[in-house]
């Protein structure tokens, strides 16, 4: 019915989700459903219906009377790996933040991919509860928890189709937040010409959908619109992004300031939503600067199965500036494509290490970024693509 433009009701969404989870629908059936719901074909009521159906198809965690906080970024911005930093700060402040994260769908790294470089993420619910009870937070792969499990079925279909549905995005995010027991959630919406959300108007429309669904399912939601005009940090790919995270937590002088600032903004918003003594002004910064957030992050990693230091890939090649000038734009999608061609996220050490940002002055021959790969063939493949698309870094010559 949806293929022909008809609306679906709650009972129909419930049936489709149950059948998808029970493997009564073929991949062709699921692809037809995903395609029929693509773009903006789901209205607000349908998005609410899909969200409830997805949550209802799995388990819901109960944390009793305790307030549970959570966050999510809608994606489309390479390197925006704020979650490990935010979870460490919020947990160190005394709040519960049982963070479930996904693996990459169309990006060079998901939060679960990056976290898995540093600690195990495939925990079951009893182990997840043990970590959260001991440390106040966790960062685990949602796919192993049976929380909104039908989302993983749909993601498997969406990955090769490589397109986004606003309604399915909102349903996916909020069904998992509700299933994890979250009550107050911050959503980061990066906006930029090559991000997933490309305009302020699109951000406003997406925010309205998030807010409508959150109200309907009883979540207290805050939307933060952020700058999505260029990648965040220096690394793109699981291990390289993990290195950025650790630099911020360790207060390294070379830590990417943009990643630090984004994480602090999100942590501050969550602490404000949580209220109580943890809402004190500048507490997020104090917990990061004192090293308490780093200590809590390592403790979370150890509780999840042990901390590991991320490593570099063995093969690297620079891509250099073709002329003198100022970097005025970086194409998020194309630089992410280079990282994927180099092997990310399937090869965790593969990806891109940025050497220049928007606003930097560069000279001909200066490195714009390095490609990191596990094999010479993947390195050459990614470099060929980068050489064929010199416009991914727009460099304006001095006038």
Structure tokens at 34: 């995903």
> What does DSSP assign to residue 150?
H
Nearest to 156 by CA among 24, 282, 30: 30
Structure tokens at 94: 């005394």
β strands within 285-366, DSSP E:
315-320, 325-330, 351-354, 361-362
Structure tokens at 43: 């209205």
CA gap 222, 115 in Å, rounded: 25
Nearest to 47 by CA among 165, 170, 150: 170
Beta carbons of 25 and 19 less than 8 angstroms apart: yes
CA gap 241, 348 in Å, rounded: 10
Residues listed for the chain:
399
CA gap 310, 117 in Å, rounded: 6
164 catalytic residue (yes or no):
yes
CA gap 98, 91 in Å, rounded: 9
Q: Enumerate the β-bridge partners of residue 236.
A: 352
Three-state SS at 39 = strand
CA gap 157, 34 in Å, rounded: 8
Which of 14, 19, 43, 164 does the annotation list as catalytic? 164
CA gap 242, 251 in Å, rounded: 14
Active site residues: 164
């Amino acid at each position: 019915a949806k293929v022909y433009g008809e609306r679906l009701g709650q009972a129909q969404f419930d049936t489709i989700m149950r059948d998808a989870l029970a493997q009564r629908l073929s991949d062709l059936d699921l692809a037809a459903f995903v395609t029929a719901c693509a773009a903006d074909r789901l209205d607000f009521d349908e998005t609410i219906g899909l969200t409830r159906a997805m949550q209802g198809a799995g388990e819901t965690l109960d944390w009793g009377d305790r307030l549970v906080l959570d966050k999510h970024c809608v994606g489309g911005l390479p390197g925006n790996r704020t979650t490990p930093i935010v979870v460490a700060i919020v947990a160190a402040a005394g709040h519960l933040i049982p963070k479930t994260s996904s693996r990459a769908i169309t990006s060079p790294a998901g939060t679960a991919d990056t976290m898995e470089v540093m600690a195990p993420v495939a925990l079951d619910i009893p182990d997840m509860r043990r970590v959260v009870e001991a440390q106040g937070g966790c960062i685990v792969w949602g796919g192993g928890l049976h929380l909104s499990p039908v989302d993983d079925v749909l993601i498997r279909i969406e990955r090769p189709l490589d397109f986004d549905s606003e309604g399915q995005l909102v349903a996916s995010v909020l069904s998992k937040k509700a299933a994890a027991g979250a009550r107050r959630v911050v959503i980061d919406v990066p906006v930029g010409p090559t991000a997933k959300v490309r305009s302020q108007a699109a951000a406003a429309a997406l925010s309205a959908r998030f807010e409508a669904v959150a109200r309907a399912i009883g979540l207290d939601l805050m939307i933060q619109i952020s700058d999505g005009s260029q990648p965040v940090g220096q690394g793109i790919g699981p291990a390289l992004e993990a290195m950025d995270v650790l630099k911020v937590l360790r207060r390294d002088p070379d830590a990417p300031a943009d990643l630090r600032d984004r994480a602090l903004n999100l942590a501050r918003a969550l602490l404000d939503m949580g209220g109580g003594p943890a809402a004190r002004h500048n507490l997020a910064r104090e917990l990061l600067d004192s090293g308490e957030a780093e200590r809590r992050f390592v403790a979370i990693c150890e509780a999840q199965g042990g901390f590991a230091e991320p490593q570099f890939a063995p093969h690297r090649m620079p891509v250099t500036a073709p002329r003198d000038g100022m970097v005025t734009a970086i194409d998020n999608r194309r630089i992410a494509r280079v990282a994927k061609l180099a092997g990310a996220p399937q090869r965790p050490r593969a990806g891109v290490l940025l050497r220049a940002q928007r606003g930097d002055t560069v000279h001909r021959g200066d490195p714009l970024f390095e490609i990191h790969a596990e094999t010479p063939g993947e390195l050459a493949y990614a470099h060929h693509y980068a050489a064929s698309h010199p416009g991914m870094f727009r460099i304006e010559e001095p006038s």
